[in-house]
Structures are given as C-alpha cells and as structure tokens.
C-alpha cells in the first residue's frame, strides 16, 4: 500500500512538472524573457521555404535587457544592433534585409502584449516597407504561477 501511494504521489508531481506552463518576464534570463519568447513565436509563423524570409534579420535591442543575445532564433540569423539606421545599414551591407521593430510591453485592461513590426529594407530604392502588418503577441497574468503566460497572437 505504501508503494502504491508513493508511486501515485511521484506520478502526480512528475505530471505537474511535465505539463507546467512557462511564465515570462522582462528579466535578463533568455529562457523566460518575454521579448525573446515573442520573437520565437514570430519566427514560428514564418515560412522558412520562401527566399525572402531567409535574409538576415536586424533587431534593435533597446527594450531588451539580456546578459547575452542569441544569434539565431528558430534557425533565423539575428543581428542585434544598438540602434538601427536603415540607410546606413543598407549602404554598409549592400543588400536587402529585414528589420523587426519591437515595441515595449503594453498593458490594456489585463491584456499584456508585445508588438512586432517587420520591415523590409530595399537596397535599390533605399526605402523600407512594413511587411505583413503588426503582430501582437498576447500574454495574461496567471496568479497561480505568479507570472505572464502566452495566450495568442493577432495581426493588424
């Protein structure tokens, strides 16, 4: 009987940890950082087979405070820059590229979201265009886990 009870308790604990949801924040840990998680979710939505999606991505790190920045996210090459000056970057790398603008986390009536706006920078015209609209990655506060959990993403 003791063995059955002990097995049941261990199974319940293992089940709890194997299906527990991650919480996210703005701290410096890459695994729980809401901005890195948002970028991972964004890159999950991209079709890797399209050639225009396989360019290098340039992302400003002004709202993200990490100890280290990953140079790849979901297989996509990331260049982290202090400040993105599209014209200077186009002139220096001499090719089209994609930059992703990350808006700081917003809170609206209990809805926490991070907005991402991808831009395609064109070398020939020295212009950039918004690409596919604004992606909003929504999180909600879970009082049981005492943190933000991912809920959904929407496009505008």
Rounded to two decimals, what is the model's pTM? 0.79
Do 119 and 132 touch, CB atoms closer than 8 A?
A: no
> What whole-number distance in Å separates Cα of residue 110 and Cα of residue 54?
36
3-state DSSP call for residue 148?
strand
> What whole-number distance in Å separates Cα of residue 56 and Cα of residue 76?
7
Cα dihedral sign for 76, 79, 82, 87?
A: negative
Q: Mean per-residue pLDDT for 11-39?
A: 73
Taking the domains of the chain in order of start, what are their residue ranges?
22-155
> What whole-number distance in Å separates Cα of residue 82 and Cα of residue 111?
29
pLDDT tens readout for residues 96-129: 888 898 999 999 888 999 999 998 888 788 777 8
Give the single-character DSSP code of 25. B
């Amino acid at each position: 009987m003791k063995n059955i009870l002990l097995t049941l308790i261990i199974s319940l604990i293992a089940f709890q940890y194997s299906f527990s949801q991650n919480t996210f924040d703005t701290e410096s840990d890459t695994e729980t950082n809401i901005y890195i998680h948002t970028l991972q979710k964004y890159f999950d939505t991209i079709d890797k087979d399209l050639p225009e999606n396989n360019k290098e991505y340039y992302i400003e790190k002004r709202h993200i405070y990490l100890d280290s920045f990953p140079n790849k996210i979901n297989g996509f090459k990331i260049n982290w820059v202090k400040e993105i000056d599209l014209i200077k970057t186009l002139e220096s790398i001499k090719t089209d590229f994609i930059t992703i603008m990350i808006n700081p986390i917003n809170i609206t009536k209990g809805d926490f979201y991070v907005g991402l706006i991808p831009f395609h920078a064109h070398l020939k015209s020295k212009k950039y265009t918004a690409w596919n609209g604004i992606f909003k990655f929504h999180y909600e506060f879970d009082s049981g886990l005492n943190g933000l959990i991912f809920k959904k993403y929407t496009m505008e």
